[in-house]
Structure 1
Amino acid sequence: MRSSGPRRRFTLLSRRGPTAALLIAPVAVAGWFYGADAAGSGAAHIPPKVQTARPATVQESQTPAGPAPTSVVQIVAHPDDDLFFMNPDTRQSVDSRSRLTSVYLTAGESDGVNAARTGPLAPSVRPAADKARYAEARQNGIRAAYAEMATGDRTSPWRRTAIPTAGGGTAELDVLVARPELSLVWVQLREAGSITGDRPVSLHGLWDGRVSELPSQLASGSPVKRDFAYSKAQVVDTVAGLLKRFAPTHVRMQDPTPGLVAGTDRPTDHQDHLFGARFAQAALARYAATPGHPAFSVQNYLGYFTSGLPHTLDPETAAAKLRTMHTYAWTDDRNYCGAEAGCGDRKVAARPGGHGWTQSVRYTRGESTSWVQLGRGGELWAFSVLDTRLAVWHRGARGAWTGPELLPGTGLDSGVTSVRLADGRIAVFATRTALGAGPADYRREVVTAVQRTPGGAFGRWHSLGTPEKDDASGLSDISAPAATVDKAGRITVYLRNGHYSLSSVSQRLDGSWTAWRERGGENLHGDPAVASDASGRQHVFVSTPLSVWSWTQARPGAPLSGPTLTGLPPTTLTLSAAPEGDGVRLWFRRPASGAVRTAHFSGPLASPVTELGGVAGFGPVSASGPGHALLAVRSRTGVPGTYLPAPGGTGTAGRSAGTPRWRSGGPLFVGAPSGTETGVGAIGHDGRLYWSGPGAPAAWQPVG
Structure 2
Amino acid sequence: PVLYLLAHPGDALAATGSELHRDLAAPDRPVAVVCLAAGERTDRDRLLHRLGRDAAWHHRTEELPDGESLDVHSVAGDPCIEVCFTDPGRPLPADPPEPLVDRVTALLARFAPATVRTLDPDPEHTGWSEEHGAVRPDHPEHSAVAQALLEAVHRATADGAAPVAVECFRPAAPCTGAHPVRIPAVVRYPGRRVWLTRGPQGHLTAYAALGGAVARWTERTPGGPDWSGRELLRTPRLLPFLAVAQAPVGWVHLVSLRRTPLPSGGATVEVMHAVQYQSGRPVGEWRSLGNPHGTGHDKGREVGVPAVVVDPDGCAHVYVRNFGRGVSARSQRPDGSWAPWRDLGGSEVQDGLAALLDDRGRPELFAPSTEGVLRWHRDDAGELRPTPRERMPLVAAPGTALAALASGPGRITVYGCDARDRMLYACRTDGAATAVGTAGGAGVCVLRTPVDGYDCTVLLQRSAEGVTAVGAYPTEQEHAGLWWERTGGPGTREPAAAVDAFGRLVVASLDPDGRLAVARQDGALPGLVLGGWTTA
Q: Distance in 2 between matches of 1:431 and 1:670?
A: 22
Which residue number corresponds to residue 263 of structure 1? 128
Is the aligned partner of 1:145 residue 2:50? yes
Q: Do the aligned partners of 1:533 and 1:581 also contact (CA within 8 Å) in 2?
A: no
Per the TM alignment, residue 628 of structure 1 is displaced from its structure 2 partner at its CA by 5.5
State the one-letter code of the partner of 1:635.
S
Name the residue aligned to 2:452: none
Cα deviation, residue 266, structure 1:
1.2
Pair 1:508–1:628, CA change in 2 (3 A): farther
1:89 aligns with 2:19: yes
Q: When the two structures are superposed, what TM-score results if normalisation uses the length of structure 1?
A: 0.68
Aligned AA for 1:73?
L
- The 1:418–1:567 alpha-carbon spacing in structure 2 relative to 1, beyond 3 Å, is closer
SS of 1:137's equivalent in the other structure is: helix
Helix, strand or coil for the counterpart of 2:293?
Answer: coil
Structure 2 residue 225 is the aligned partner of structure 1 residue 402: no
Equivalences for residues 238-387 of structure 1 within 5 A = 238-264=103-129, 265-291=134-160, 293-303=161-171, 305=173, 354=181, 357=183, 360-368=184-192, 371-387=195-211
1:682/1:689 contact within 8 Å kept = yes
Paired residue type of 1:102: V
TM normalised by structure 2 equals 0.88
1:502-521 Cα offsets, whole Å, 9 max, x none, are 01111111111122111111
SS at match of 2:241: coil
Deviation at 1:410, TM superposition (A): 4.0
Pair 1:160 & 2:28 matched: no
From 181, 185, 189, the counterpart of 2:84: 185
Q: Does 1:75 align with 2:8?
A: no
User: 1: distance between equivalents of 2:230 and 2:153?
Assistant: 20
Asked whether the equivalents of residues 269 and 300 of structure 2 are also in contact (C-alpha less than 8 Å), the reply is: no
**What is residue 610 of structure 1 aligned with on the other side?**
434
SS of 2:510's partner is strand
Q: Secondary structure at the match of 1:203?
A: coil
Q: Match of 2:417?
A: 589
Helix, strand or coil: the match of 2:150? helix
Matching residue of 1:443: 268
2:427 matched residue in structure 1: 599
Counterpart secondary structure, 2:78: coil
Asked if structure 1 preserves the Cα contact closer than 8 Å seen for 2:463 and 2:491, the reply is: no
Give deviations 1:527-581, integer Å, cap 9, x for gaps: 21111112112210111123111111134x6111115251423222521112222
Amino acid corresponding to residue 423 of structure 1 in structure 2: V
Q: Decide which moves more: 634-643 or 504-513.
A: 634-643
Structure 1 residue ranges without an equivalent (≥5)? 1-70, 109-134, 149-153, 191-200, 208-231, 308-344, 349-353
Partner residue of 1:685 out of 512, 517, 524: 512
Instruction: Quickly say closer, same or farther: Cα 1:370–1:186, change in 2 above 3 A.
Output: closer
* Residue type at the aligned position of 2:13: L
Match of 1:204 in 2: 93
Task: Give the equivalent residue in structure 1 for 2:502.
Answer: none
- For the pair 1:103 / 2:34, whether they are aligned, the reply is yes
Identical-residue share of aligned pairs (%): 23
Provide the C-alpha distance between the structure 2 equivalents of 1:522 and 1:146, rounded to a whole number of angstroms.
Answer: 40
Per the TM alignment, residue 472 of structure 1 is displaced from its structure 2 partner at its CA by 2.8
| Aligned counterparts, 1:692-703, within 5 A | 692-694=519-521, 701-703=533-535
Is the Cα contact below 8 Å between 1:631 and 1:642 reproduced in 2?
A: yes
Q: Distance in 2 between matches of 1:288 and 1:369?
A: 19
Q: State the distance in 1 between where 2:257 and 2:41 align.
A: 39
Letter in 1 for 2:516: L
Is this contact kept in 1: 2:456–2:475, CA < 8 A?
yes
Equivalent in the alignment of 1:506:
331
Q: Displacement, 1:268? A: 4.6
In 2, Cα distance between the equivalents of 1:448 and 1:233? 29
Aligned-pair CA distance for 1:492:
0.8
> Residue 629 of structure 1 aligns to a residue in which SS?
strand
Query: Against the structure 1 CA distance between its residues 690 and 593, is the aligned structure 2 distance closer, same or farther, given a 3 Å change threshold?
Result: farther
**Residue identity in the other structure for 1:524:** V
CA contact (8 A) 2:266 2:297 kept: no
SS of the counterpart of 1:93? helix
Q: Once the two structures are superposed, what CA deviation does each residue of 1:264-305 show, in whole Å capped at 9, x if it has no partner? A: 4211522221222222222222333333x3321011101253
Q: Which has the higher mean CA deviation after the structures are superposed, 662-671 or 508-517?
A: 662-671
**1:169 & 1:542 partners in 2: Cα distance?**
46
Q: Which has the higher strand share?
A: 2
Q: How does 1:349-498 map to 2 (within 5 A)?
A: 354=181, 357=183, 360-368=184-192, 371-395=195-219, 396-399=221-224, 400-435=226-261, 438=263, 440=265, 442-453=267-278, 456-470=281-295, 472-474=297-299, 476-498=301-323
SS at match of 1:403: coil
Give, in angstroms, the shift of residue 655 of structure 1.
Answer: 4.7
Q: Do 1:82 and 1:90's aligned partners in 2 also have CA atoms closer than 8 Å? A: yes
**Amino acid aligned to 2:88:** L
Q: Distance between the aligned counterparts of 2:312 and 2:199, measured in 1?
A: 18
Give yes or no for contact 2:115–2:166 (8 Å, CA) kept in 1: yes
* Conserved 8 A contact 2:74-2:81: yes
Cα distance in 1 for partners of 2:298, 2:228 equals: 43
What SS does the corresponding residue of 2:107 show, helix, strand or coil?
helix
CA shift for structure 1 position 524 = 0.7
| 1:319-351 deviation per Cα after TM superposition (whole angstroms, max 9, x unaligned) | xxxxxxxxxxxxxxxxxxxxxxxxxx9966xxx
Shift of 1:254: 0.5
Q: Quote the offset at 1:441 in angstroms.
A: 6.2
Q: Secondary structure at the match of 1:91?
A: helix
* Count of aligned residue pairs for this structure pair: 509
Q: Look up the equivalent residue of 2:8 and give its one-letter code.
A: H
Secondary structure at the counterpart of residue 644 of structure 1: strand
* Contact 2:495–2:507 (CA under 8 A) maintained in structure 1: yes
1:401 match: secondary structure: coil
Given the alignment of the two structures, is residue 674 of structure 1 paired with residue 496 of structure 2, yes or no? yes
Structure 2 residue matching 1:245: 3-state secondary structure: helix
Structure 2: gaps of 5 or more residues: 450-454, 500-504, 523-527
**CA 1:703–1:586 in 2, change beyond 3 Å: closer, same or farther?**
same
